[in-house]
Amino acid sequence: MLAIENLNTYYGSSHVIQGIDLKADQGAVIGVFGRNGVGKSTLLKTIAGWIKPRAGAIVFNGVRIDGQTADRIARRGIGFVPEDRRIFPGLTVEENLTLGYLQVPRRSSAGNAAALRRIYERFPRLAERRNQNGTTLSGGEQQMLAMARVMIGEPRLLLIDEPSEGLAPMIVADLFAIIGEMKQRGCTILLVEQNVQQALTACDTFIAIERGRIIGTGDASDKDDCARLMHAISF
């Protein structure tokens, strides 16, 4: 579903992503781990089109998407939940959610309404607060809203950046349950997460990044691979 070859991304003169290669099959959950500032978020932003790579190729479902605009990439079926959540100020919960319709412009009004009903069934707290300003929600509720806004577009590839940061354990458990549900539906997921032990329970495989390069890969179910990961990223 996703193939990345020799990806290089810069911030000005700073070479952040340095020749990353990565492949992801449909339905796979891949953990992206490493210390702060090594390029994990930049990798997701480059795939999502928020940052243009200077070199390399990103192929999604057989089509090169590197260099395409973020909105066009989203409409191809790639959803991105950024670390800062990007809840739109001045909009209600429901208005934030309906922005997710832009990911599927060809879907009918009835299809959009059905998708919104499914979201409210899965996230009853959001249903209760549908008329509340999105930025007034708690941190956990805002994370749920950010996830739900992407899910309403039914993405085939989901990029998630630090979903559990600063959240209570019960909220974190629910978030990882959602990740499991998305995987069961065949969604491919790239997950950046500082809570490595929690993330490994949801992942099939992982990569470890240091200074913009992949320094290790492994099977999330293999204890030796996981031990090497923890040593490599020095958490």
| CATH value at residue 191 | 3.40.50.300
What b/e sequence results for 78-117 when a residue is b if at least 16 CB atoms lie within 10 Å of its CB, and e otherwise? bbbbbbebebeeeebbbebbbebbebbeeeeeeebeebbe
What is the pLDDT, as a whole number, of residue 199? 94
**Contact of 207 with 33, CB cutoff 8 Å:** yes
Residue 227: Cβ-neighbour burial (10 angstroms; 0-12, 13-18, 19+): exposed
- Where residue 92 falls among pLDDT bands split at 50, 70, 90? very high
Query: Is the pLDDT at 44 greater than 90, yes or no?
Result: yes
What number of CA atoms fall less than 13 Å from residue 48's CA on the CB side? 20
Q: What is the pLDDT of residues 201-215, one digit of tens each?
A: 999 999 999 999 999
- Where residue 233 falls among pLDDT bands split at 50, 70, 90? confident
16-37 average pLDDT score: 96
What is the pLDDT, as a whole number, of residue 230? 86
| Single-letter amino acid, residue 99 | L
Query: Is the pLDDT at 12 greater than 60, yes or no?
Result: yes
Q: Which helix (H) or strand (E) holds 205?
A: strand 205-210
- Where residue 216 falls among pLDDT bands split at 50, 70, 90? very high
Q: Which helix (H) or strand (E) holds 35?
A: none
What is the pLDDT, as a whole number, of residue 33? 96
What number of CA atoms fall less than 13 Å from residue 51's CA on the CB side? 20
Query: Is the pLDDT at 235 greater than 70, yes or no?
Result: no
What is the pLDDT, as a whole number, of residue 87? 96
Instruction: Report residue 234: phi and psi, to 5°.
Output: 55, 50
Residues with Cβ within 8 Å of 195's Cβ and at least 6 positions away in sequence, in order, are 164, 172
72/77 Cα distance (integer angstroms): 9
Q: What is the mean pLDDT of the chain?
A: 95
**Which segment of 14-28, 198-212, 219-233 scores lowest on mean pLDDT?**
219-233
Structural domain harbouring 216: 2-233
Q: Which two tokens mark 213?
A: 């390069």
What percentage of the chain's residues is helix, strand, coil (to nearest 5)?
A: 40, 25, 35
Q: What is the pLDDT of residues 115-171, one digit of tens each?
A: 999 999 999 999 999 999 999 999 999 999 999 999 999 999 999 999 998 888 999
Domain count, the chain: 1
